[in-house]
Amino acid sequence: MKIIILFMIIINCSYAATANRGRNFNPAIGINGLFLYQNGSSEHEGFSVQGLEMMFTSDVDTRFRAEVLLGLHPSHEEGQHGMAFDAEEAYLETTGIKGVTFKFGKFKTKIGKHNEKHAHNFPFVDAPLVFKEIVGHEGYQDIGVSASFLLPYISWFSEATIQIVEGELEANDLFNEDTHEVAGVFHLTNLWDLSEDLTFEWGVSGLSSASILYGTDLTVKWRKSSERSFEWSTEFLQKDVDGEKLGGLSSFIKYQLTKPIFVQYRYDYLGFSNSMSKNGHAFLVGYMPSEFSGIRLQYQDLAEDEKVVSLQLNFSIGAHPAHSY
């Protein structure tokens, strides 16, 4: 049924596109596709569609813009196979209020640095181990309101975000199934230009409800030109769900060797405040000849003798709004 609805949306959009008169007010439409070949994986062995994301963005009127992100990806539910289709994000954002942006709807919450990223923009083929185990495979998106603003009287980029969300029951890794309590999310990012080519970012986040989550992230980025750049990013997350604590960190480096070629390494550690301890290493080489297509080869060494080789094809068609820094 969901697939039928999806097809109807796409066909409707193409009819609108052929009629010249209605065209100017059509949303910007972009589709991102991720195709995967994996060997040694317990999740997606062989060829699979890792995900398809359809993004629609548009100004609604002089006061708002809207963004709708529909995603198709393999179901992660226990015992379920096949594809799951859902609205990953669908929200309204204010554009006309000086100093503040309000957001209403369903959105990826601002816990940590990785959570807001869409799958086609992940630095690696998959999300970090710490993220998957602490936040959940699907990431954490929820329904509610968000307010974000640049802190006044501060002479550098310092952005605060406050979100009140429903405490989505589907986010099983973060919320206990039996309790349903509204959650508050808080995030503060600071970014400094150390030089014209070098930036340093530090963020802190927290989630408060029946469960508690907090974290901090540090990122150094250097860009000499469109052909040479370097990034080092580390994120630490810790959660407390009904007294059960789990914490971990993920740290990666990404180096642009030539214009299309990237070499990357990620270290994952899970096990702070917990007797279990797990770590992983991932090595990646990427070939990205343009902003719209790329192929990446990743070798991942996880605990318990799990070694996974992945080859991922990533492409975009249509409008492609810029990713955040």
Could you say which DSSP state residue 76 is in? -
If the CB atoms of residues 7 and 156 are measured against other proteins, the closer one turns out to be 156
Note whether 104 binds other proteins by CB under 8 A: no
Rounded to whole angstroms, how far apart are CA atoms 286 and 263?
A: 6
**Binder to other proteins among 48, 58, 101, 274 (CB under 8 A)?**
101
**Binder to other proteins among 61, 177, 196, 305 (CB under 8 A)?**
196
Amino acid sitting at position 187: H
Could you say which DSSP state residue 10 is in? H
- What residues contact 115, with CB distance under 8 A and at least 6 apart? 108, 109, 131, 135, 139, 140
If the CB atoms of residues 9 and 97 are measured against other proteins, the closer one turns out to be 97
Could you say which DSSP state residue 119 is in? G
Could you say which DSSP state residue 250 is in? E
CA 64, 66, 69 angle in degrees (round to 5)?
A: 165
Nearest distance from C-beta of residue 78 to other proteins, angstroms? 38
Looking at residues 19 to 58 of the shown chain, list those that interact with other proteins (rule: CB under 8 A).
Answer: none
If the CB atoms of residues 47 and 325 are measured against other proteins, the closer one turns out to be 325
If the CB atoms of residues 277 and 289 are measured against other proteins, the closer one turns out to be 289
**Binder to other proteins among 290, 301, 303, 306 (CB under 8 A)?**
290
Of 24, 28, 100, which is closest to residue 57 (Cα–Cα)?
A: 28
Distances (CA, A) of 162 to 114, 146, 206, 279: 17, 6, 10, 32
User: Do residues 54 and 69 touch, judged by C-beta distance below 8 A?
Assistant: yes
Note whether 240 binds other proteins by CB under 8 A: no
Binding mask 244-283 vs other proteins (x if CB under 8 A, - otherwise)?
---------------x------------------------
Q: H helices then E strands: how many in the chain?
A: 3, 16
Note whether 10 binds other proteins by CB under 8 A: no
Distances (CA, A) of 264 to 17, 152, 231: 40, 37, 9
Options 12-20, 79-87, 126-134, 220-228: segment touching other proteins (CB under 8 A): 220-228
Options 16-24, 72-80, 221-229, 248-256: segment touching other proteins (CB under 8 A): 221-229
Nearest distance from C-beta of residue 291 to other proteins, angstroms? 8
Note whether 195 binds other proteins by CB under 8 A: no
Looking at residues 119 to 178 of the shown chain, list those that interact with other proteins (rule: CB under 8 A).
Answer: 149-150, 156-157, 159
* Residue keyed to tokens 């090595």: 283
- Residues binding other proteins (CB under 8 A): 93, 95-101, 149-150, 156-157, 159, 189, 191-193, 196, 199, 201, 223, 225-226, 259, 290-292, 317, 321-322, 324-325
